[in-house]
Amino acid sequence: MIYIKKILGDKLQDYTMVLALVALAIIFNIISGGKMITSSNFQNLISGNAYVMVLALGMMMVIVIGQIDLSVGSVAGFSGMVMAIAVRDLGLTWWVGVLLSLVVGASIGAWQGLWVAKLGIPGFITTLGGMMIFRGGVIWISKSISVPAPRELKMFGAGHLPEWGPAFTGMNNSTLLLGIIAIAAFAFTQLHKHNRSQKAKELWPILVRIALVSVVIGYLTWIFGTGRPGTSFPVPGVILVVLVIIYHTITQRTTFGRHIYAVGGNKSAAALSGVNVQKTYFLTMLNMSFLAALAGIMFVGRSNAAGPSDGIGWELDAIASVFIGGAAVSGGVGTIIATMVGGLVMTVLNSGLMLMGVGADRTQVIKGLVLLAAVGIDVFNKKEGRQSIIGRLFPSKSK
Amino acid sequence: MKKLLTLLIMVSLITVMVAGCGKTPERVEPETTETETSETPEAPATAEAGFAADSVIGVALPWLGTQNWAEADEMFKSKLEAAGFEAIVQHADNKVPTQQQQIESMVQNGAKVIVVGPVDGSQLGGVLEEAAAAGIFIIGYDRLIENTTAIDGVVQFDSIKTGVLQGEALLAGLAAQKGEGPYNIELFGGGPADPNAPNFFKGAMTVLQPKIDDGTLVVVSGQLDFTQAATLDWDNAKAQARMDSLLSGFYSDKEIHGVLCPNDGIARAVITSSGQAGQETPITSGLDAENETVTWIWEGRQYSTIAKPTDTLVSKTIEIIKALQAGNGMPAPDETTDNGMKEVGIYALPPLVVTKENIKEAFANDPGRMELLK
Q: Is residue B1 part of a domain?
A: no
- pLDDT value at residue B136: 95
Taking CA atoms, what residue in A is nearest to B230? A144
Within-domain flag for B117: yes
- Cis amide linkage into residue B195, ω under 30° from 0: no
| DSSP classification of residue A384 | T
Same domain, B246 and B367: yes
Listed by number, the residues of chain B in 119-138 with a beta carbon closer than 8 Å to a beta carbon of chain A are 120-127, 130, 133-134
Residue B298 domain-assigned?
A: yes
Residue B66 confidence (pLDDT):
80
- Looking at residues B52-68, what average pLDDT do you find? 90
In degrees, rounded to 5, the angle at the alpha carbon of residue A383 between the alpha carbons of residues A380 and A388 is 60
Residues B172 and B145 in one domain: no
- If we measure between CA atoms, which residue out of B348, B333, B349 comes closest to residue B41? B333
pLDDT at A160: 86
Identify the helix (H) or strand (E) that includes residue A351: helix A336-355
Quick one: pLDDT at residue B42? 39
Predicted pLDDT at B6: 52
Residue B323, min C-alpha distance to chain A (Å): 26
**217-256 in chain B: CB under 8 A from chain A:** 227, 230, 232-233
A128 within some domain? yes
Q: Hey, how many other C-beta atoms are within 10 angstroms of the C-beta on B261?
A: 35
pLDDT given at position A56: 96
Q: Tell me the three-class secondary structure of chain B, residue by residue.
A: CHHHHHHHHHHHHHHHHHHHHHCCCCCCCCCHHHHHHHHCCCCCCCCCCCCCCCCEEEEEECCCCCHHHHHHHHHHHHHHHHCCCEEEEEECCCCHHHHHHHHHHHHHCCEEEEEECCCCCCCCHHHHHHHHHCCCEEEEECCCCCCCCCCCEEEEECHHHHHHHHHHHHHHHHHHHCCCCCEEEEECCCCCCCCHHHHHHHHHHHHHHHHHHCCCEEECCCCCCHHHHCCHHHCHHHHHHHHHHHHHHHCCCCCCCEEECCCHHHHHHHHHHHHHCCCCCCEECCCCCCHHHHHHHHCCCCCEEEECCHHHHHHHHHHHHHHHHCCCCCCCCCEEEECCCCEEEEEEECCEEEECCCHHHHCCCCHHHHHHHC
pLDDT of B41 higher than 50: no
Helix axes A255-265, A235-253, angle to 10 degrees: 70
Model confidence at B27, pLDDT cuts 50, 70, 90, reads very low
Shared domain check, B338 and B361: no
Q: How far apart are CA A11 and CA A290, in angstroms?
A: 32
Q: Does B108 touch chain A (CB under 8 A)?
A: yes
- With cut-offs at 50, 70 and 90, classify the pLDDT of residue A339: very high
pLDDT tens by residue, A165-200: 787 777 888 899 999 999 999 999 888 888 887 666
The answer to whether residue A220 scores a pLDDT higher than 60 is: yes
What pLDDT band is residue A384 in, cutting at 50, 70 and 90?
low
CA distances from A154 to A83, A297, B114 (A): 14, 10, 22
How many CA atoms lie within 13 Å of B121's alpha carbon, on the beta-carbon side? 23
Beta bridge partners of A234: A160
| Shared domain check, B87 and B220 | no
Residue A380 has pLDDT above 80, yes or no: no
Are both B259 and B296 inside the same structural domain? yes
pLDDT of residue B131: 93
Would you put residue B135 in left (φ > 0), alpha (ψ -120 to 50) or beta? Answer: left
Report CB contact under 8 Å: B93, A154.
no
- Same structural domain, B252 and B335: no
- Confidence (pTM): 0.77
- Co-location of B291 and B189 in the same domain: yes
Task: Inform me whether the pLDDT recorded for A352 exceeds 60.
Answer: yes
Instruction: Say if residues A117 and A281 touch (Cβ distance below 8 Å).
Output: yes
Give B45's pLDDT tier (boundaries 50, 70, 90): very low
pLDDT at B315: 93
Instruction: Look at residue B140 and tell me if it is in a domain.
Output: yes
The complex's ipTM works out to: 0.78
Decide: helix, strand or coil at residue A160: strand
Q: What is the pairing mode between strands B153-157 and B343-349?
A: parallel
User: pLDDT-based confidence at B28, cuts 50/70/90?
Assistant: very low
Position A161, amino acid: L
Residue range(s) defining the domain that contains residue A262 = 2-159+234-393
Residue A12: predicted pLDDT? 62
A326, part of any domain: yes
Instruction: Give pLDDT, residue B364.
Output: 85
Q: Say if residue A386's pLDDT is above 90.
A: no
In a domain, B6, yes or no: no
pLDDT at residue B16 tops 60? no
Residue A58 has a pLDDT of 96
- Answer whether A307 sits within 8 Å of B96, measured CB to CB: yes
Question: Does residue B118 surpass a pLDDT of 90?
Answer: yes
Considering only CB atoms, which chain A residues are within 8 Å of B30?
228
Q: Which has more confidence, A200 or B193?
A: B193
- For chain A, percent of residues with pLDDT exceeding 90: 51
The span from the CA of B233 to the CA of B293, in Å, is: 20
- Domain of B102? 52-151+310-349
Angle between helices A314-324 and A360-382 (to 10 degrees): 30
Residues in chain A, total: 399
Same domain, B135 and B200: no
Among the ranges given (A252-261, A374-383, B227-236, B272-281), the one the predictor scored with the smallest mean pLDDT: A374-383
Q: What value does the mean pLDDT of chain B take?
A: 85
**Cα dist from B355 to A65, A150, B352, whole Å:** 62, 46, 10
Q: Is residue B24 part of a domain?
A: no
Q: Is some CB atom of chain A closer than 8 A to the CB atom of B17?
A: no
Do B365 and B231 share a structural domain?
yes
A29 CA: distance to closest CA in chain B (Å): 7
Let me know if residue B36 belongs to a domain. no
If you count residue pairs, one on A and one on B, with CB atoms under 8 Å apart, how many are there? 145
How far apart CA B288 and CA A210 sit, in angstroms, is: 62
Residue A199 lies in a domain: no
The pLDDT-based confidence of B163 (bands split at 50, 70, 90) is very high
Q: Is B147 on the interface with A (CB under 8 A)?
A: yes
Q: Per-residue pLDDT averaged across A35-50, rounded?
A: 88
pLDDT at residue B126 in the model? 86
What is the reported pLDDT for B345?
94
Average the pLDDT over A248-277 and give the result.
Answer: 93
Measured in angstroms, the CA of A150 and the nearest CA of chain B are apart by 11
Mean predicted confidence (pLDDT) in A79-87: 94
Which residue has better confidence, B76 or B253?
B76
A218 belongs to a structural domain: no
CATH of the domain at A97: 1.10.3470
Q: List the CATH number of the domain containing B123.
A: 3.40.50.2300
pLDDT of the residue at B26: 39
Q: How far is A228 from chain B (nearest CA, A)?
A: 5
Mean pLDDT check: name the lowest of A187-196, A268-277, B216-225, B331-340: A187-196
Domain count, chain B: 2
CB nearest to A360's CB, from B91, B104, B108: B91
Distance CA A217, CA A299 (A): 27
Find the mean pLDDT for residues B298-311: 91
Whether residue A263 is contained in a domain is answered as: yes
Top-confidence range, A161-165, B191-195, B217-221? B217-221
Q: B357: which residues sit within 8 A by CB, 6+ positions away?
A: none
- Smallest CA–CA distance, residue B122 to chain A, in Å, is 6
B197 and B314 share one domain: no
Average pLDDT over every residue of A323-338: 88
Same-domain pairing of B222 and B368: yes
A286: pLDDT strictly greater than 60? yes
Residues B302-326, mean pLDDT to the nearest whole number: 93
The answer to whether residue B17 sits within a structural domain is no
pLDDT at A294: 96
Residue B280 pLDDT: 92
pLDDT at B36: 38
- Domain count across chain A: 1
| Whether B293 and B323 share a structural domain | no
